Structure 1
Amino acid sequence: MDLVFLLYVLFFCSFLFTVWKWFDLKRDLDCYILDYQCYKPSDDRMVDTELCGKIIKRNKTLGLSEYKFLLKAIVSSGIGEETYAPRIMFSGHEENPTLSDGIVEMEEFFHDSVGKLLSRLGVSPQEIDVLVVNVSMLASVPSLAARIMNHFKLRDDVKVFNLTGMGCSASLISVDVVRNILKSYKNVYALVVTSESLSPNWYAGNDRSMILANCLFRSGGCAMMLTNKRALKNKAMFKLKCLVRTHHGARDESYNCCIQTEDDQGRPGFHLGKNLPKSATRAFVDNLREISPKILPVRELLRFMVVSLIKKLRGNPGKAAAGGPMKAAVNFRTGIEHFCIHTGGKAVIDGIGYSLDLTEYDLEPARMTLHRFGNTSASSLWYVLAYMEAKKRLKKGHRVLMISFGAGFKCNSAVWEVMRDLNAEGNVWKDFIANYPPESIANPFMEKYGWIQHEDPATFKMPD
């Protein structure tokens, strides 16, 4: 009898130990953002209307039709006069960039943002266990990640990942890389560095599909520290709830809509195809279809099922026009308080706003970020998040949905839970957030260059 009792006790203890280990392991799977630092270049790199006009004039391949196209694109872009460009644009040598120009541009960002982040957290570079760097359009040897290691003197055994070619959605891919590493290692500090190198990628030709990228992209970047340390849970800013990646690279139409290439004259640039909206919509819908069950309450999912069934019985599926945005059949506000949208352009923000039935309050962070910083590629999401923080919108328990698009074609999304009320300490917006939103975000480019629209192509000549 004693032996049987002892076996029961041993079995029960073994069961309790197994359950404890399972919960213990599950807690270590959590991924937190401790802090992040968006980059604000120096004011001498600010691009106002006058400088923008000078840069355009330097391109001698442009004709009247191209000038009119650029005028319309810039005025309707949603970008203001206080965005930033790399130093090469101010020297007038953008048509002949060197590898050094791209590296110097990146190192300015690395040294500033990573240094400030580590200082504010009180974390030594020697404590970093994982480093993930994503800069899509600059590959150097040694890698940019190796340059960060060398400058900050990281440990020899740090796990390093250097991502290129991932496009504007690369920062969430970097977060996904970290999330998977944290599943296998405890008590990890992971540094994610995200930016884009514009110096070597200025397009100097007259192909409209490639000129457009010059109008939208601006300098920026973000460094963030992630961890799974339980002891730091109460100090964390955000906790990752879920992350979904959608990639349509197997579809030729999606693959070719957003691609780095050369024009007929051999000039390198970034092609944005006419089928980009259609490819983006398709990827967006597929991504929403996967993430919705993970973030929405059961009552909203049940309501969606009932509404869908009724529409099907009535023969009204509610399809969107070809290539146009589609309204989501679910109310995302039932599971989400804030929407962090990639600032790919005014049309991108408007399209997502329409699809998710968002208010101007929801879209304000993305619109203001586009106006103040432009499209900073993969780092743009974090400027949008910083705007929400600077406006003191982010309260403990709130959930933030991040949505980003990128070449390939990709749509990546993530949901973060706010871990504490945030006070915007060290925020990139802190010195000018009181001025936002401004009364008007109109671009004055039309006022200075609108006369181009009335010029005669036969006699047109751009003034020096």
Structure 2
Amino acid sequence: MDILMLFLYMVPLSYLLFRLVKIVERRRHQCCYILDFECYKPGDDRKLSTDFCGEVMKRTKNLGLDEFKFLLKAVVGAGLGEETYAPRMVFEGRESCPTFDDGITEMDEFFHDNIQKLLERSGVSPSQIDVLVVNISMLTSAPSVAARIINHYKMRPDVKVYNLTGMGCSASLISINIVQNIFKNHKNLYALVVTSECLSPNWYTGNNRSMILANSLFRTGGCTILLTNKVALRGKAMLKLKCLVRTHHGGRDESYGCCIQMEDEHGRPGFHLGKNLPMAATRAFVDNLKQISPKILPVRELLRFSLASFLRRMRQSSSKGSPGGRPVINFKTGVDHFCLHTGGKAVIDGIGQSLNLSKYDLEPARMTLHRFGNTSASSLWYVLAYMEAKKRLKKGDKVFMISFGAGFKCNSCLWEVVRDLEGRNVWEHCIEGYPVETLTNPFMDKYGWINNEDPTTFKIPE
């Protein structure tokens, strides 16, 4: 009888242990690791120097004195240096009449260079790729750009393909989220994420101020990321995904229309950046932080912030004195490095102020904006590469990524550094010269005279 009772007790216990082992094993295979990533560096013949930018401005015949002054102010205040890159057709003087082939050529140059370098360095062949996610917001083709990659690299017929368009500057984290969800249901996969933006069809040549801004911010770039959930490769991984949160305010008309691809009143295509963009970004940013903060911050910091907020509300409802300053949550209690979207100098400064970040924290984003400009969805990875090149990323560090995009969207995630990162990347040719002072700008020295011109006599310089 005792043996029987012992057996009856042991059966459910062994079953529970079996289920626990299965759960642990499944979670081990659901992890999302970055094995390697490669940022794109176009040739030096595509750098936008001050002199060349001036030539592009001069041949844009739709600009008057007011537009010249506005564009000069935008360029000077954007935080970009003289080594950012533009599409090839701009250097050929065809930005006012781009063709469909210009967009395809721009993307092919990126695909053929960037993907090849990443796969060769990692030792993974195209036939080993199980999942391919491509995000190019402002170029659609049939077959898709993802199909062009499959055709060029002769990938397997059963590769799982996702081709994203219209996702804007926050698209790379959407791509990562797709891979993350696939990894939860399938073991031992390789995934390739390809993120870039096609500027050729959308280089604006009109005089609408809300659309001129895009030319002073967006630049050519791209990144390819190799991910896996193979447990055997975790020791070779660079980063491990801890959590990812996506916020979408497309249901609000003012958020939906603040950042949109469109044509101006004369039918010239471009990208409209509305005056209500900062407000839309702030709302999405706050909502996103509300969701991700409990996932990445220690309990003690959440309790401290909750208590400080409660006491402030109590003082505010009381007639005694002022409620004091608004409490600020300290993200540095759970985050070591901040990988911010390079949407512009004002965007970086605004996030820094909201999160109470130091000059050191903002340096990677500011320097990336200066060297490469806003490369849309790939900009986060240039910022990450800067941190790696500066040997900041040590084993166990937490890296917080946050990006904004048309829609309006705010997406964020937290990575854990798996091993010390000191690899060579897109910054290796110039990292010794950074950080640099970005307060002075050569555009003002060369073209500041425009501000003193008489509107009645002004003519575009030859």
User: Is 2:66 aligned against 1:65?
Assistant: yes
Q: Counterpart of 1:379?
A: 378
- Partners in 1 of 2:153 and 2:278 — Cα distance? 41
Q: Counterpart of 1:256?
A: 257
Is the partner of 1:215 in helix, strand or coil?
Answer: helix
- Partners in 2 of 1:328 and 1:186 — Cα distance? 44
- Partners in 2 of 1:119 and 1:462 — Cα distance? 49
Q: Deviations over 1:406-430 (max 9, x none)?
A: 00000000100000000123x1001
Is the partner of 2:194 in helix, strand or coil?
Answer: strand
8 Å Cα contact 2:79/2:438 also seen in 1? no
**CA distance 1:138–1:46, change in 2 (3 Å):** same
Give unpaired runs (5+ residues) of structure 1: 318-325
Q: Counterpart of 1:463?
A: 461
- Partners in 2 of 1:353 and 1:398 — Cα distance? 20
Whichever residue aligns with residue 80 of structure 1, its letter is G
* Percent identical residues: 68
- Partners in 1 of 2:330 and 2:217 — Cα distance? 31
User: Is 2:431 aligned against 1:433?
Assistant: yes
- Partners in 2 of 1:316 and 1:220 — Cα distance? 51
Shift of 1:7: 3.9
8 Å Cα contact 1:327/1:356 also seen in 2? no
User: Is 2:118 aligned against 1:117?
Assistant: yes
Shift of 1:9: 3.5
Q: Counterpart of 1:395?
A: 394
Shift of 1:441: 5.2
**CA distance 1:95–1:122, change in 2 (3 Å):** same
Q: Counterpart of 2:333?
A: 334
User: Is 2:294 aligned against 1:293?
Assistant: yes
**CA distance 1:441–1:220, change in 2 (3 Å):** farther
8 Å Cα contact 2:331/2:355 also seen in 1? yes
8 Å Cα contact 1:145/1:160 also seen in 2? yes
Q: Counterpart of 2:177?
A: 176
- Partners in 2 of 1:233 and 1:130 — Cα distance? 18
- Partners in 2 of 1:328 and 1:422 — Cα distance? 35
Q: Counterpart of 1:79?
A: 80
8 Å Cα contact 1:403/1:412 also seen in 2? yes
8 Å Cα contact 1:328/1:357 also seen in 2? no
Shift of 1:166: 0.2
Shift of 1:190: 0.3
- Partners in 2 of 1:65 and 1:12 — Cα distance? 79
Q: Counterpart of 1:452?
A: 450
Is the partner of 1:33 in helix, strand or coil?
Answer: strand
Q: Deviations over 1:338-393 (max 9, x none)?
A: 00000000000000010001000000000000000000000000000000000000
8 Å Cα contact 2:308/2:327 also seen in 1? no
Q: Counterpart of 1:343?
A: 342
TM-score (norm 1): 0.96
**Cα RMSD after superposing both structures:** 1.4
Give unpaired runs (5+ residues) of structure 2: 319-324
8 Å Cα contact 1:247/1:408 also seen in 2? yes
User: Is 2:96 aligned against 1:95?
Assistant: yes
Whichever residue aligns with residue 367 of structure 2, its letter is M
Whichever residue aligns with residue 111 of structure 2, its letter is F
Q: Counterpart of 1:421?
A: 420
Whichever residue aligns with residue 340 of structure 1, its letter is C
- Partners in 1 of 2:223 and 2:327 — Cα distance? 31
Is the partner of 2:162 in helix, strand or coil?
Answer: strand
1:20-59 maps to which residues of 2 (within 5 A)?
Answer: 20-59=21-60
**CA distance 1:203–1:392, change in 2 (3 Å):** same
8 Å Cα contact 1:424/1:430 also seen in 2? no
- Partners in 1 of 2:130 and 2:436 — Cα distance? 42
Q: Deviations over 1:275-297 (max 9, x none)?
A: 00000001001111111111111
Q: Counterpart of 2:361?
A: 362
8 Å Cα contact 1:218/1:375 also seen in 2? yes
Q: Counterpart of 1:202?
A: 203
Q: Counterpart of 1:322?
A: none
Q: Deviations over 1:102-137 (max 9, x none)?
A: 011001111111101101110011110000000000
- Partners in 2 of 1:91 and 1:327 — Cα distance? 53
Whichever residue aligns with residue 372 of structure 2, its letter is F
- Partners in 2 of 1:30 and 1:386 — Cα distance? 22
Shift of 1:6: 3.8
8 Å Cα contact 2:134/2:162 also seen in 1? yes
8 Å Cα contact 1:81/1:443 also seen in 2? no
Whichever residue aligns with residue 407 of structure 1, its letter is A
Whichever residue aligns with residue 290 of structure 1, its letter is Q
TM-score (norm 2): 0.97
1:156-305 maps to which residues of 2 (within 5 A)?
Answer: 156-305=157-306
8 Å Cα contact 1:259/1:271 also seen in 2? yes
- Partners in 1 of 2:26 and 2:288 — Cα distance? 29
Shift of 1:36: 0.2
Q: Deviations over 1:251-310 (max 9, x none)?
A: 000001001111111111110000000000010011111111111111101100110011
Shift of 1:328: 6.8
Whichever residue aligns with residue 434 of structure 2, its letter is Y
- Partners in 2 of 1:187 and 1:286 — Cα distance? 34
**CA distance 1:327–1:225, change in 2 (3 Å):** farther
- Partners in 2 of 1:135 and 1:186 — Cα distance? 28
Shift of 1:58: 1.3
Shift of 1:439: 4.1
Q: Counterpart of 1:127?
A: 128
**CA distance 1:368–1:107, change in 2 (3 Å):** same
Count of aligned pairs: 455
**CA distance 1:170–1:312, change in 2 (3 Å):** same
Shift of 1:95: 1.2
Whichever residue aligns with residue 454 of structure 1, its letter is N
Q: Which moved more, 1:8-17 or 1:348-357?
A: 8-17
Is the partner of 2:225 in helix, strand or coil?
Answer: strand
Is the partner of 1:372 in helix, strand or coil?
Answer: helix
